[in-house]
Amino acid sequence: MSDLTSLAGLRVFAVEDESLVAMQLEDILDDLACTNAGFAMRVDRALSMIDATPGIDAAILDMNVAGVKVYPVAERLRSLDIPIVFATGYGLDGIDTEWRVYPVLQKPYTAEQIGRALQDALRLTNK
């Protein structure tokens, strides 16, 4: 993963409603030397956290959060020009067409897949 060192210090915000997956993601981000900009387990909480958390560099969003699609969070992040990565067990088919321009991770994912998806998201927004 040496070519993923460019992610060191990246402030990543994540939305994930499954505790074990969130803990695994937190460990992966730590292994990539990213900084935890916050974790939310509900869409409404994520929206309030985004407004209260300056300096988010990128976000990883579980597509289905406690039965609610994560699109309101994605809309807010897009309006702030924050790079987005979607994570889903349904693959690309689980993402509405307009959002397929963003990297999509198929669950379960690896640290390398997270790193590459973050790099792709950053390139999309030229960050």
* Domain interval for residue 103: 2-124
**Model pLDDT, residue 2:** 47
Long-range contacts of 101-108 (CB under 8 A, 24+ apart): 102/74, 105/60, 107/21
The dihedral through the CA atoms of 16, 18, 19, 24 has a sign that is: negative
| CATH code, domain carrying 119 | 3.40.50.2300
Where the chain has pLDDT below 70, the residues are 1-2, 127
What is d(CA 34, CA 70) in angstroms, rounded to the nearest whole number? Answer: 22
pLDDT tens-digit map of 9-22? 999 999 999 999 99
Who's near 65: CB < 8 A, 6+ residues apart? 15, 16, 17, 41, 42, 43, 46
**Model pLDDT, residue 77:** 98
Question: pTM for this structure?
Answer: 0.94
**Model pLDDT, residue 127:** 63
**Model pLDDT, residue 1:** 43
Who's near 126: CB < 8 A, 6+ residues apart? none
Tell me the longest C-alpha to C-alpha distance in the chain.
37
* Tally of domains within the chain: 1
**Model pLDDT, residue 74:** 98
